[in-house]
Amino acid sequence: MQLQINIASHPLIKHWSGILENHNNPGTILRTACSEIGKWITYEIMREWLVIETISLEPEKTIDLISSDYKYIIVIIMPYGFILAEGARALLPTANIALVSYNNNIEKIEDQLDSFTKILVLDLFLNEIIISTILEELVTKGALLKNIKIACLECGSSELNKLGKKWSALEIYTTKVNNIINNNKQSREQIFKDKFFV
């Protein structure tokens, strides 16, 4: 099986991604753009991920609701994943939140996960070492790889190659795959960090 990389194509994702390309925008605008991208990438993931069940209300009347059999967890890689999570939480308001701390341990996540647990991992930029550490912990706790989705703003092609060698069945959603280096040799990641946390 091959690593599946989904370049999000929703028109609003393209719009907000365009906003991010202008590094002259103030941090508040860039932060809003990241939050909106988090929301719309989560929407793209949910379209194929959510399980819908039909419930009978009365004879000959039914409604469709998200299945209560499944539990959803948003894993936020701190501190920058929190910016994407602002938008994602709007679409998964009942999801449990787990945080990845500076030592890459997942905090606030239960010890036993099962096949009914679906997990969304969020960060601004894909880091193979951090993602691999998280995946190892989640799988050890019983999560199924097919029930884990990674969402990020951008991915470097070298990071994807390394990740694909270890986790070939993984599914990743992003707005762009590149080397995350601009013409001034400064990483986009550093630009955003400087803008968001001044």
Q: Which amino acid is at 147?
A: N
Look-up of token digits 């390309």 = 21
The answer to whether the bond into 79 is cis (omega within 30° of 0) is: yes
- Bridge partners (DSSP) of residue 100 are 77, 106
Write the CA distances from 118 to 7, 24, 61, 80, integer angstroms.
21, 37, 29, 22
* Pair 163, 128: CB distance under 8 Å: yes
Query: What pLDDT does 49 receive?
Result: 84
Q: Are 171 and 49 contacting, i.e. CB atoms less than 8 angstroms apart?
A: no
Scanning 97-166, the segments in alpha helix (DSSP H) are: 128-140, 157-166
Higher pLDDT: 152 or 51? It is 152
At residue 195, does pLDDT exceed 70?
Answer: no
What the chain holds in terms of domains, given with CATH numbers, is 4-196 (3.40.50.2020)
Distance CA(136)–CA(154), nearest Å, equals 22
Q: Taking each helix axis from N to C terminus, what angle separates 27-49 and 81-91, rounded to the nearest 10 degrees?
A: 50
Q: Is the pLDDT confidence value at 102 over 80?
A: no
CA gap 138, 157 in Å, rounded: 24
pLDDT tens sequence across 1-51 = 578 999 988 899 999 999 988 878 888 888 899 999 999 999 999 888 888
